[in-house]
Amino acid sequence: MSASLGSITVNGLPRRPVSAGDTPLLWYLRDELGLTGTRFGCGAGLCGCCTVHVDGKAVRSCLERIDGLGGKQVTTIEQLSSNGLHPLQEAWIALQVPQCGYCQSGQIMQAAALLSENPDPSDADIDAAMSGNICRCGTYPRIRAAIKRVAKMQTKSSANRAPNSLE
Amino acid sequence: MSINSTRRAFTFGISAAAAGLAMSVRPLRSVAAPGNAPIAANEESPPEITAWIKIEPDDTTIIQVARSEMGQGNFTTLPMLVAEELECDWRFVRPRYVGANENILRGHAWGSMVTAASISVRESQSYLRKAGAQARHMLIAEAADRWQISPDECVARDSVVTHVPTGRTLRYGEIAEAAAHRPIPADVRLKPPEEWRLIGQSIPRVDVRDKVVGNPIYASDVRLPDMLFASVSACPVLGGRLKSFDASRIRGMPGVRRVVAVEGIAVAVLADSWWQAKKACDALPITWDPGEGKQVSTQTIRETYADGLTADDVAIGRKIGDVNKALSQALSVVHADYEVPYLAHTTMEPQTCTAYVRGEDVEVWAPTQNGEGTLVNVANTLGIPPSKVIVHKHHLGGGFGRRGLAQDWSRMAAHIAKQVDRPVKMIWTREEDIQHDYYRPMVLARQSAGFDAAGHLIGWQVRVCGSSILVDLSPDLLVNGQDLEMCNAFRDADMAYHVPNFEVGYVMRNNSVPVGYWRGVNHSQNGFFRECFIDELAHARNQDPYLFRRTLLSTAPRSLAVVDEVAKRANWGSARKGLFQGMALVECYNSVTAQVVEISVDDAGVLTVHRVVCAIDAGYIVNPDIVEAQMQGAVAYALGAVLYGAITLRDGEVEQSNFHDYRALRMNEMPRVETYLASSGDKYTKAWGGVGEPGTPPLAPAVCNAVFAATGKRIRSLPLANQQLRS
pLDDT of B443 reads 98
Whether A75 and chain B come into contact, CB under 8 Å, resolves to: no
The residues that bridge with B154 in the sheet, in sequence order, are: B163
Q: How far is the C-alpha of B118 from the C-alpha of B588, rounded, in Å?
A: 9
Closest CA in chain B for residue A104:
B212
Nearest C-alpha neighbor of B444 from the set B466, B467, B469, B471: B466
Whether A24 and chain B come into contact, CB under 8 Å, resolves to: yes
Using one digit for the tens of pLDDT, what is the confidence trace for B345-390? Answer: 999 999 999 999 998 899 999 999 999 999 999 999 999 999 999 9
Nearest C-alpha neighbor of A107 from the set A122, A123, A84, A91: A91
Using one digit for the tens of pLDDT, what is the confidence trace for B580-591? Answer: 999 999 999 999
Beta carbons within 10 angstroms of residue A144's beta carbon: 20
Cβ neighbours of residue B680 closer than 8 Å, sequence gap 6 or more: B558, B561, B617, B619
Using one digit for the tens of pLDDT, what is the confidence trace for A90-103? Answer: 999 999 999 999 99
Q: How far is the C-alpha of B272 from the C-alpha of B624, rounded, in Å?
A: 46
Using one digit for the tens of pLDDT, what is the confidence trace for B642-654? Answer: 999 999 999 999 9
pLDDT of A156 reads 83
Q: Which of B275, B432, B635 to mutate to test the interface with A (most CBs of A within 10 A)?
A: B275
Counting residues of chain B whose pLDDT is more than 90, the rounded percentage is 93
Amino acid at site B642: V
Is the CA virtual torsion A147, A151, A157, A160 positive or negative? negative
Residue B52, pLDDT above cutoff 70: yes
Q: How far is the C-alpha of B222 from the C-alpha of B640, rounded, in Å?
A: 31
pLDDT of B22 reads 31
Asked if A29 contacts A35 with a C-beta cutoff of 8 angstroms, the reply is yes
Could B204 and A78 be called an inter-chain contact, meaning their C-beta atoms sit closer than 8 Å? no
Choose the closest CB to A37 out of B214, B427, B669.
B214
pLDDT band at B164; cut points 50, 70, 90: very high
E strands in B416-510? 424-427, 443-451, 457-466, 502-508
Asked if B276 contacts B229 with a C-beta cutoff of 8 angstroms, the reply is yes
The answer to which of B3-12, B416-425, B458-467 has the lowest mean pLDDT is: B3-12
**B665 vs chain A: nearest CA distance in angstroms?**
7
Nearest C-alpha neighbor of A17 from the set B116, B275, B4: B275
Q: How far is the C-alpha of B410 from the C-alpha of B378, rounded, in Å?
A: 7
Question: What are φ and ψ of residue B406, in 5° steps?
Answer: -75, 105
Task: Over range B338-342, report the average pLDDT.
Answer: 98
Question: What are φ and ψ of residue B643, in 5° steps?
Answer: -75, -45
Residue B233: alpha-carbon gap to chain centroid: 27
Q: Which residues of B touch A77 (CB under 8 A)?
A: 213-214
Q: How far is the C-alpha of B55 from the C-alpha of B61, rounded, in Å?
A: 5
Task: Over range A150-167, report the average pLDDT.
Answer: 70
Asked if B617 contacts B694 with a C-beta cutoff of 8 angstroms, the reply is no
- Using CA atoms, how far residue B487 sits from B92, B314, B663, in Å, is 45, 11, 28
Choose the closest CB to B347 out of A32, A136, A138.
A136
The ipTM value here is 0.95
pLDDT of B6 reads 31
Q: How far is the C-alpha of B391 from the C-alpha of B393, rounded, in Å?
A: 6
Question: What are φ and ψ of residue A131, in 5° steps?
Answer: -75, -5
Residue B12, pLDDT above cutoff 70: no
Closest CA in chain A for residue B203:
A96
Phi-psi region of A80 (alpha: psi -120 to 50; beta: other; left: phi over 0): alpha
Choose the closest CB to B670 out of A76, A132, A140.
A140
- Using CA atoms, how far residue B100 sits from A77, B51, B112, B142, B392, in Å, is 32, 14, 10, 31, 8
Helix (H), strand (E) at residue B584: strand B580-588
Question: What are φ and ψ of residue B320, in 5° steps?
Answer: -130, 130
Using one digit for the tens of pLDDT, what is the confidence trace for B257-312? Answer: 999 999 999 999 999 999 999 999 999 999 999 999 999 999 999 999 999 999 99
**B594 vs chain A: nearest CA distance in angstroms?**
19
Q: Which residues of A touch B659 (CB under 8 A)?
A: 42, 44, 46-47, 134
Could A141 and B673 be called an inter-chain contact, meaning their C-beta atoms sit closer than 8 Å? yes
pLDDT band at B663; cut points 50, 70, 90: very high
Whether A31 and chain B come into contact, CB under 8 Å, resolves to: yes
**B362 vs chain A: nearest CA distance in angstroms?**
23
Strands across the sheet containing B502-508: B314-320, B502-508, B457-466, B443-451, B332-340
Residue B552, pLDDT above cutoff 50: yes
pLDDT band at B235; cut points 50, 70, 90: very high
Q: Which residues of B touch A108 (CB under 8 A)?
A: 212
Q: How many residues does chain B have?
A: 727
Asked if B51 contacts B109 with a C-beta cutoff of 8 angstroms, the reply is yes
Choose the closest CB to B211 out of A47, A98, A126.
A98
Instruction: Count Cβ atoms within 10 A of the Cβ of residue A7 and give its class: 0-12 exposed, 13-18 middle, 19 or more buried.
Output: middle
Choose the closest CB to A137 out of B209, B427, B633.
B633
Could A96 and B208 be called an inter-chain contact, meaning their C-beta atoms sit closer than 8 Å? yes
Could A100 and B670 be called an inter-chain contact, meaning their C-beta atoms sit closer than 8 Å? no
Cβ neighbours of residue B45 closer than 8 Å, sequence gap 6 or more: B54, B56, B62
- Using CA atoms, how far residue B205 sits from A148, B429, B716, in Å, is 21, 31, 40
pLDDT of B18 reads 32
Q: How far is the C-alpha of B121 from the C-alpha of B129, rounded, in Å?
A: 11
- Using CA atoms, how far residue B418 sits from A36, B56, B411, B428, B467, in Å, is 26, 39, 11, 18, 33
Asked if B615 contacts B593 with a C-beta cutoff of 8 angstroms, the reply is yes
- Using CA atoms, how far residue B658 sits from A41, A144, B126, in Å, is 10, 25, 42
Whether A153 and chain B come into contact, CB under 8 Å, resolves to: no
The answer to which of A158-162, B230-234, B617-621 has the lowest mean pLDDT is: A158-162
Could B348 and A34 be called an inter-chain contact, meaning their C-beta atoms sit closer than 8 Å? no
Alpha helices in A28-103 (DSSP H): 87-94
For B382-433, give the DSSP string.
HT--GGGEEEEE-B-S--TTTTSS--HHHHHHHHHHTTSSS-EEEE--HHHH
Q: Residue B601: how many CA atoms within 13 Å on its side-chain side?
A: 22
Whether A50 and chain B come into contact, CB under 8 Å, resolves to: no
Amino acid at site B623: N
Q: Which residues of B touch A35 (CB under 8 A)?
A: 214
Asked if B220 contacts A39 with a C-beta cutoff of 8 angstroms, the reply is yes
Instruction: Count Cβ atoms within 10 A of the Cβ of residue B383 and give its class: 0-12 exposed, 13-18 middle, 19 or more buried.
Output: exposed
Could A134 and B672 be called an inter-chain contact, meaning their C-beta atoms sit closer than 8 Å? no
Q: Enter the DSSP assignment of B161.
A: E
The answer to which of B16-20, B84-88, B132-136, B309-313 has the lowest mean pLDDT is: B16-20
Q: Residue B108: how many CA atoms within 13 Å on its side-chain side?
A: 9
pLDDT band at B29; cut points 50, 70, 90: low
Task: Over range B251-257, report the average pLDDT.
Answer: 96
Q: Which residues of A touch B430 (CB under 8 A)?
A: 41-44, 47
Q: How far is the C-alpha of B322 from the C-alpha of B681, rounded, in Å?
A: 36
Q: Which residues of A touch B221 (CB under 8 A)?
A: 36
Choose the closest CB to A43 out of B276, B399, B430.
B430
Q: Which residues of B touch A24 (CB under 8 A)?
A: 275
Q: How far is the C-alpha of B444 from the C-alpha of B121, rounded, in Å?
A: 33
**A2 vs chain B: nearest CA distance in angstroms?**
12
Q: How far is the C-alpha of B205 from the C-alpha of B209, rounded, in Å?
A: 9
pLDDT of B32 reads 53
pLDDT of B27 reads 34
Could B398 and A100 be called an inter-chain contact, meaning their C-beta atoms sit closer than 8 Å? yes
Residue A166, pLDDT above cutoff 80: no
What is the pLDDT of chain B when averaged over all its residues?
Answer: 94
